[in-house]
C-alpha cells in the first residue's frame, strides 16, 4: 500500500537539532482557553477560583458585551481567604450554590484553578468531588488548572479536556472503528469536516469536546483518535488510557495539511485513498485557488516565530510549503515530537527550531535577523512594532477559525494583512 502522506523524512527536520532555552518567558496563562471552550460547550460553566486580576484577564480576552450573559465567572479570593482567616472551601460552596440556583441551565461546572488558588494550596479536586456528590446527576462538577505559572495559554484547553476524558462513556465493541476528532473547533469548521467525512463514506465519527455535555462521545479500543490541535498531549494520553488509538497525521491547516489530515483518517478507517481524494477534491481545489493571491504576496518573505501557542510548527509548515515563506526561526513552548512528527518531516531542511524561551536572547536573534514578519505574543508585539518590525499576534491564530479547506485563505490573510498595513503606513 502506498503511504497515505507522502512525507520524506530524510529531507525534513525530523532529526534536526533543537535549541532548548529555559529562561524568562512571555506567555498568557491557561485561563484564556475558557474563551473558546465556553463558546463550544453550550451547557458548561467555568468558575475561576482566583483574584480580581484573573477576572479582568478573562473579561478582557472575551470582550464581554453587556447584553450577553457569559458562561464563566470568577470566585474572588480576597484578603481574608489569602490570609487563611476564612474557610475557602465553605466560601466556594456558597458561591456554587448561588450560581446553580441562578443558572439552572448549567449541566457541567468546571472549577478552574489559578495562580492565587494554587499558591495558597486550595484543593479544588476535593471541592469538585464534594460538590459533584451534592449536585450530580443534575450538574457534573469537575476541576482543572488554568494557572500560568509553568504553562502556556493553550494548555488550559488540554487540562480541561483531560479532566473531562474520564467522564466519557465506554464505547461498546462495534464491528468497525469509530473516528474521534479531538480539539475545540468552531461550529462552522466542525460542520464542514462533518460534510467531508460523510462524503468520504465515514459512518461513525464524533467530536470532542461536544457541543453539549449530555451528548459526550463514547471511547474504547475501537476508537481512532485524530487530533485537531497540537497542544493536547495530556488529553491524548487520557484517551489512549481508555483504549483509543491515535492516528499519526499533520494538522488541518491549509489545503495540503487539511487533505493529509483527512487522508490519514480515511486510511485508519480502511477507506481507499482514491475514494478520499475524490471526496475532498472540490474543497481542496477551492482552497488552493483562494491561496494563490496570498502566495504572491508572501513568497520569499522571511518570518520569525516566538513561542506562544504550540501552533508554531504547523503554521510554519503551512507558510513555507503552501505560501513560499522563508523560516528564520520557529520557536515553540513545548515540542511534542511524537504528535508533531509529520509536521517536523514537512518543514524545510535546515529550519532553526527552538523550544522554551529565554526572551532576551531570542529578541537579540530576532533583531539581528530583521525578518519581514514576527509572530509573537501581545507583550512583545508593540515594542517590536516600535522598532519598525511587522508583527502578528499569535493569540489571534487561536481565537480565529483556521482549520480546514474553507478557512485556508482566511489563515493566509492573517499573515498578509500586517504586511499590507505596514505598506500603507509607510506610504
- 376 annotated as a binding-site residue: no
The DSSP result for 374-399, as a single string, is: EEE-HHHHHHHHHTT--EEETTHHHH
Compute the distance between CA of residue 284 and CA of residue 305 in angstroms, rounded to an integer.
27
- State residue 181 phi and psi, 5-degree precision: -90, 125
C-alpha to C-alpha distances, 379 to 302, 304, 306, 394, 398, nearest whole angstrom: 21, 16, 11, 11, 16
Q: Across all residues in the chain, what is the average pLDDT? A: 90
- 366 annotated as a binding-site residue: no
Whether 269 and 314 share a structural domain? no
C-alpha to C-alpha distances, 252 to 185, 257, 317, 366, 380, nearest whole angstrom: 11, 5, 11, 28, 28
Whether 294 and 271 share a structural domain? no
pLDDT at 3 over 50: no
Give the tens place of pLDDT for each residue, 89-103. 888 899 999 999 999
**C-alpha atoms less than 13 angstroms from C-alpha of 77 in its C-beta half-sphere:** 26
CATH code, domain carrying 80: 3.40.50.1980
Whether 90 and 134 share a structural domain? yes
Whether 267 and 376 share a structural domain? no
Give the tens place of pLDDT for each residue, 335-380. 999 999 999 999 999 999 999 999 999 999 999 999 999 999 888 9
Give the tens place of pLDDT for each residue, 97-153. 999 999 999 999 999 998 888 877 888 999 999 999 999 999 999 999 988 776 788
Q: Is residue 164 part of a domain?
A: no
pTM to 2 decimal places:
0.92
Whether 39 and 138 share a structural domain? yes
Q: Is residue 4 part of a domain?
A: no
Give the orientation angle of helix 124-135 with respect to helix 88-102, to 10 degrees. Answer: 40
The 3-state DSSP class for residue 22 equals strand
Domain boundary among 242, 277, 312: 277
**C-alpha atoms less than 13 angstroms from C-alpha of 38 in its C-beta half-sphere:** 24
pLDDT band at 1 (very low <50, low <70, confident <90, very high): very low
Domain boundary among 277, 300, 334: 277
Structural domain including 322 reads: 9-25+287-426
Contacts of 188 (CB under 8 A, 6+ apart): 401
Q: Is residue 172 part of a domain?
A: no
Q: How many domains does the chain have?
A: 3
pLDDT at 253 over 70: yes
pLDDT at 2 over 90: no
Whether 142 and 183 share a structural domain? no
Domain boundary among 136, 151, 166: 151
Whether 317 and 417 share a structural domain? yes
- Overall size of the chain counted in residues: 427
pLDDT at 5 over 80: no
Amino acid at each position: 500500500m502506498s503511504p497515505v502522506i507522502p512525507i520524506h523524512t530524510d529531507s525534513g527536520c525530523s532529526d534536526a537539532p533543537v535549541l532548548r532555552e529555559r529562561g524568562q518567558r512571555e506567555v498568557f496563562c491557561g485561563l484564556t482557553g475558557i474563551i473558546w471552550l465556553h463558546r463550544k460547550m453550550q451547557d458548561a460553566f467555568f468558575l475561576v477560583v482566583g483574584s480580581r486580576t484573573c477576572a479582568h484577564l478573562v473579561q478582557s480576552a472575551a470582550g464581554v458585551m453587556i447584553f450577553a450573559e457569559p458562561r464563566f465567572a470568577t470566585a474572588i479570593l480576597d484578603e481574608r481567604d489569602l490570609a487563611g482567616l476564612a474557610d475557602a472551601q465553605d466560601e466556594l460552596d456558597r458561591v456554587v450554590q448561588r450560581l446553580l440556583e441562578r443558572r439552572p441551565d448549567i449541566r457541567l461546572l468546571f472549577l478552574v484553578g489559578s495562580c492565587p488558588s494554587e499558591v495558597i494550596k486550595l484543593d479544588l479536586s476535593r471541592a469538585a468531588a464534594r460538590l459533584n456528590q451534592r449536585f450530580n446527576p443534575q450538574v457534573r462538577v469537575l476541576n482543572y488548572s488554568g494557572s500560568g505559572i509553568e504553562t502556556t495559554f493553550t494548555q488550559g484547553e488540554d487540562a480541561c479536556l483531560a479532566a473531562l476524558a474520564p467522564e466519557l462513556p465506554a464505547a461498546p465493541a462495534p464491528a468497525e472503528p469509530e473516528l474521534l476528532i479531538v480539539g475545540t473547533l468552531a461550529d462552522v469548521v466542525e460542520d464542514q469536516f462533518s460534510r467531508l467525512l460523510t462524503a468520504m463514506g465515514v459512518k461513525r465519527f464524533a467530536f470532542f469536546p461536544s457541543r453539549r455535555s449530555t451528548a459526550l462521545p463514547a471511547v474504547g479500543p475501537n476508537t481512532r483518535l485524530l487530533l485537531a490541535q497540537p497542544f493536547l498531549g495530556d488529553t491524548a494520553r487520557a484517551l489512549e488510557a481508555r483504549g483509543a488509538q491515535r492516528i499519526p497525521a499533520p494538522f488541518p491547516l491549509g489545503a495540503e495539511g487539511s487533505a493529509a489530515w483527512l487522508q490519514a483518517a480515511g486510511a485508519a478507517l480502511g477507506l481507499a485513498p482514491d475514494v478520499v481524494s475524490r471526496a475532498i477534491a472540490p474543497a481542496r481545489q477551492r482552497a488552493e485557488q483562494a491561496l494563490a493571491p496570498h502566495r504572491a504576496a508572501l513568497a520569499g518573505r522571511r518570518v520569525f516565530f516566538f513561542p506562544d501557542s504550540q501552533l508554531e510548527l504547523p503554521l510554519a509548515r503551512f507558510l513555507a510549503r503552501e505560501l513560499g515563506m522563508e523560516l528564520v526561526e520557529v520557536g515553540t513552548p513545548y515540542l511534542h515530537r511524537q504528535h508533531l512528527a509529520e509536521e517536523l518531516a514537512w518543514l524545510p531542511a535546515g529550519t532553526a527550531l527552538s523550544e522554551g524561551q529565554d526572551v532576551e536572547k531570542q529578541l537579540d536573534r530576532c533583531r539581528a535577523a530583521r525578518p519581514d514578519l514576527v509572530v509573537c505574543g501581545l507583550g512583545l508585539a508593540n515594542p517590536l512594532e516600535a522598532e519598525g518590525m511587522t508583527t502578528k499576534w499569535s493569540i489571534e491564530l487561536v481565537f480565529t477559525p483556521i482549520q480546514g479547506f474553507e478557512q485556508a485563505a482566511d489563515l493566509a490573510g492573517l499573515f498578509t494583512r500586517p504586511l499590507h498595513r505596514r505598506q500603507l503606513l509607510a506610504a
